[in-house]
Amino acid sequence: MTTKIRGMKRSTRNFFIGAAFGLLIALTGNPATAAENSETTPGGVGLQAASWLVTIPYGAVKVAYALGGGIVGSLAWAVTGGNTTVAKAVWIPSITGDYIVRPENLTGEKPLQFVGGSSDKPTP
């Protein structure tokens, strides 16, 4: 029985690692970004590598935060009888924001936003 539990833990961990890498590859495959960051200097390559390495744990935490916000927002919507204003107050900050750390974030040129913006227009 212990072997089954260890196997399940390992397969779950591998699933999340694979999902994080898949998300990372899917979201960074933007041709405009590739053309924009065509520096081949050692510093530019180092910043790109560092941003990839930092994105892996950061992206996993951000995805978990967004999923948690989606669940809590859905529960808030259900408890308030379908009030979307209350749900959006949870959904928008938790689901929006940056999921990828870019080299500009590491150099301080652009701030990294873990929590996204709030909704300016409440829904009736």
Of 76, 59, 1, 2, nearest in space to 25 by CA = 59
The number of distinct structural domains making up the chain is 1
pLDDT of residue 10: 61
pLDDT of residue 19: 63
Could you tell me the residue range of the domain that residue 19 belongs to?
2-107
Is residue 114 assigned to a domain? no
Question: What pTM did the predictor assign?
Answer: 0.61
Q: What is the mean pLDDT of residues 17-35?
A: 54
Assess contact for 117 and 96: CB atoms under 8 A.
yes
Is residue 77 assigned to a domain? yes
pLDDT, tens only, 78-98: 999 999 999 999 999 999 999
